[in-house]
Amino acid sequence: MGGDNAPAEIVAGALEAASDDIKPILAGPKGLDTGGLELVEADQVIAMDEKPADAVREKPDSSLVATCRAVADGRADVALSAGNTGAMLAASLVHVRRLPGVRRPAIAVVLPSDHGPSVLLDAGANADARPEHLLQFGQMGAIFAQELLDIQQPTVGLLSIGEEPEKGSKLTLEAYELLTAAEDLEFRGNVESRDLLRGAADVVVTDGFTGNVSLKLLEGTIRSVLDAFRSEITSTTRGKLGGLLIRPAARGLRARLDPDTYGGAYLLGLRGLVVIAHGNSGRRAIANAIRLAARGAEHDVVGRLQERLQGRVVASARFPAS
């Protein structure tokens, strides 16, 4: 029941993604038409504008909380929602819980760069962060890039306002020092937002506020440019003729850059797999988010993170969990 287009587009996307290997389970009110998919009854709904912690506590029978509880209980392999992101994080922390040693879960978004996919995190789970959190985001992002994107030696960059080490906020300056000293990371230094789609680094770390603003700016710009391009080539006869010639290339470009191609983002650092979908997701985005979630389960992202983080987390005596 989460998202701007729920429940119709959520159900349609789940039906589109359903296959012999993927079995979507829907959480929603009794009587919801699921098209034959399994239904977990959940009569409450958390709205997009509700305070996350209060909503999760006051609405234990909401579809969002029921989804996280299904993963915690072993009924499902992945929890996915296009609803209130803050509430999804709060419900995940309560029911799915953090992996040992993880200070803050982070939303990891796959970006289509010139040199193949890269990862941006945190894309919205933590509006405020400390330098040690960004260090661990780099560690989790590097493992994610290795295991799911098949990048053998992922490079890590720190999002800042300039490439020079002395540029940035207090947070980025201190995080720069920690990332530079991390022997288990191939740190490339600062990267600028203009280079996010140019493959500046395989993994780009930042706080959730900056990451979310950057991500939405990228997505909005990509959609505006693609829509303007389509409008231009269909506005004149000459444009239409030219459009026929470049149609295959244009379709390939849209498929690579359109945010709906991935549909969602992983919430890394939890004991179970959680995927966050866009609030305005339509059926195509939901279907792709479900497929993305299934790949994460197939590759055992949680198990691999837990196994490899045990030897990579910074000593808790130096940076207490918070």
Q: What percent of the chain has pLDDT over 70?
A: 88
Mean pLDDT lowest among 73-77, 87-91, 252-256: 252-256
Residue 26 has pLDDT above 90, yes or no: yes
Residue 317 pLDDT exceeds 50 = no
Distance between CA 112 and CA 256 in Å, rounded?
6
What is the C-alpha separation between 317 and 8, in angstroms, rounded?
49
Q: What is the DSSP letter of 314?
A: P
Q: What is the widest separation between alpha-carbon atoms in the chain? A: 69
Rounded-to-integer distance, Cα 320 and Cα 109, Å: 27
How far is the CA of 175 from the CAs of 117, 171, 273, in angstroms?
24, 6, 27
Model confidence at 20: pLDDT above 50: yes
* 218-243 pLDDT, tens digit each: 878 877 877 777 777 777 776 666 66
Q: What is the DSSP string of 79-147?
A: EEESS-HHHHHHHIIIII-BPTT-SS-EEEEEEEETTEEEEEE-SSS-SS--HHHHHHHHHHHHHHHHH
Per-residue model confidence as pLDDT tens digits over 179-227: 999 988 999 999 999 888 888 899 999 999 999 999 888 878 877 877 7
313 vs 291: CA distance, rounded Å = 30
pTM for the predicted model, two decimal places: 0.84
Q: Does pLDDT of 116 surpass 60?
A: yes
SS (H, E, C) 193-216: HHHHHHCCCCEEECCHHHHHHHHH
Residue 17 has pLDDT above 50, yes or no: yes
Q: What average pLDDT does range 98-105 have in this prediction?
A: 91
Interhelix angle for 131-148 vs 301-309, to 10°?
130
Q: Is 201 exposed, middle or buried (0-12, 13-18, 19+ CB in 10 A)?
A: buried
Strand residue runs (E) in the chain: 25-28, 38-41, 78-81, 106-113, 116-121, 155-159, 186-191, 203-205, 264-268, 273-277
- How big is the chain, counted in residues? 322
Question: What's the pLDDT score for residue 147?
Answer: 83
Q: Are 130 and 106 in contact (CB under 8 A)?
A: no
pLDDT higher than 70, residue 259:
no
**How many Å apart are CA 106 and CA 104, to the nearest integer?**
6
pLDDT given at position 266: 92
- For residue 91, the model assigns a pLDDT of 95
Structural domains of the chain, ranges and CATH numbers in brackets: 8-102+269-304 (3.40.718.10), 109-261 (3.40.718.10)
Quick one: pLDDT at residue 42?
Answer: 94
**Contact between 123 and 208 (Cβ < 8 Å):** yes
